[in-house]
Amino acid sequence: MDTLVAEPLEALAARIRACTLCRLHEGRTNAVPGEGAASARLLLIGEGPGRHEDEQGRPFVGAAGKVLDASLAKAGLTRGEVFITNIVKCRPPENRKPKADEVAACRPYLEAQIRAVRPAAIVTMGDTALKGLLGPSASRTAPGRRRPRHEGIPVVATYHPAAALYDRRLGEVLGSDLARAVRLVAPITRPRSGRPRQSRRVRPALSSGCAVLDGENRILLLRRADEGLWCLPKGTVEPGETLQETAMREVREETGLSVRILAPLTEITYSFYSPSDDANVEKRVVYFLAERTGGRLKPEPGFDDARWCGRADALRRLHFENDRNVVRRAFEALAPATGRTRGRGPAASS
Ligand code: SF4
Q: What is the residue extent of each domain of the chain?
A: 3-184, 202-338
Task: Answer whether 0.75 is exceeded by the pTM.
Answer: no
Distance 101 CA to ligand 1 centre (A): 10
- The pick from 23, 85, 90, 128 for probing ligand 1's pocket by mutation, whose C-beta has the most ligand atoms within 8 angstroms, reads 90
The more confident residue out of 176 and 24 is: 24
pLDDT at position 346: 31
- The pick from 85, 89, 95, 111 for probing ligand 1's pocket by mutation, whose C-beta has the most ligand atoms within 8 angstroms, reads 89
Mean pLDDT, residues 146-171: 86
Ligand 1 in reach of 19 Cβ (< 6 A) = yes
Give the Cα-Cα-Cα angle 202, 207, 210 (nearest 5 degrees): 150
Q: Would you place residue 146 in the very low, low, confident or very high pLDDT band (cuts 50, 70, 90)?
A: low
pLDDT in tens, 31-40: 999 998 887 8
Mean pLDDT, residues 275-302: 87
pLDDT at position 186: 58
Lowest-pLDDT choice from 73-87, 118-132, 184-198, 300-314: 184-198
DSSP 49: -
Q: Per mean pLDDT, which of 11-25, 67-81, 168-182 is the most reliable?
A: 11-25
Q: Which residues pair with 267 in a beta bridge?
A: 286
Distance 84 CA to ligand 1 centre (A): 16
The arrangement of secondary structure in 3-184, i.e. its CATH architecture, is 3-Layer(aba) Sandwich (3.40)
Q: Where are the beta strands (DSSP E) in the chain?
A: 35-36, 42-46, 82-86, 121-125, 149-150, 153-158, 202-213, 219-224, 230-231, 234-236, 257-274, 279-295, 303-309
Is the pLDDT confidence value at 234 over 50? yes
Q: Whose CA is nearest to atom 3 of ligand 1?
A: 106
Is the pLDDT confidence value at 321 over 50? yes
- Mean pLDDT taken over the chain: 85
202-338 and 3-184 share a CATH fold: no
The CATH code belonging to domain 202-338 is 3.90.79.10
Distance 57 CA to ligand 1 centre (A): 13
